[in-house]
Amino acid sequence: MEPRNYLLAFPVKGDVIAPLAESEKIAVIELKGGESNLHYIQPPSLPQNLLNRLDYWILPPNDRSGDQFLEEGIEVLTTPTAPMEINEIIEAFLFRELFRYQPGGGD
């Protein structure tokens, strides 16, 4: 069976995940056939064509900005800790160590 491809995105400041409001850029990761391809886009808004293709939006644990992505039909995950570097987030995603985002600000 061929591995599934995923498109992930998350806000970063430097090389670590950050709350969306504090981010410098958005890391967009394409996981394809066991390989990852990273590129960046500038916030605050994501292009609609990217939103239409995005599988997962990932946030640090205390960022409550995920509701807007849920409304777009994108699954939102949170990291277990912050800060986490980009490669740590990819690894956590692959090993299913991320958590489902709880909408509305409740944990």
Q: Do the domain assignments include residue 57?
A: yes
The whole-number pLDDT of residue 42 equals 85
Average pLDDT of the residues in 97-105: 89
Instruction: Compute the CA torsion angle 37, 80, 68, 56 (nearest 10 deg).
Output: 30
Nearest to 77 by CA among 51, 105, 97: 97
For residue 74, the enclosing domain spans 6-105
**pTM of the full structure:** 0.90
Question: What are the CB-based long-range contacts (under 8 Å, 24+) for 103-106?
Answer: 103/66, 103/67, 103/70, 104/67, 105/64
* CA pair distance 86, 25, nearest whole angstrom: 12
Predicted confidence (pLDDT) at residue 87 exceeds the cutoff of 80: yes
Q: Do the domain assignments include residue 1?
A: no
Predicted confidence (pLDDT) at residue 104 exceeds the cutoff of 90: no
Beta strands in the chain (DSSP E): 6-13, 16-17, 25-32, 35-41, 56-59, 75-78, 99-100
Using an 8 Å Cβ cutoff, are 78 and 61 in contact? yes
Average pLDDT of the residues in 51-74: 94
The CATH code of the domain that includes 94 is 3.30.420.130
Angle at 31 between CA 96 and CA 28, to 5 degrees: 100
Average pLDDT of the residues in 19-38: 92
**Model pLDDT for residues 31-62, shown as the tens digit of each residue:** 998 789 999 998 767 788 888 999 999 999 99
Q: Do the domain assignments include residue 71?
A: yes
Q: Do the domain assignments include residue 60?
A: yes
Q: How many structural domains compose the chain?
A: 1
The whole-number pLDDT of residue 91 equals 95
Average pLDDT of the residues in 71-100: 96
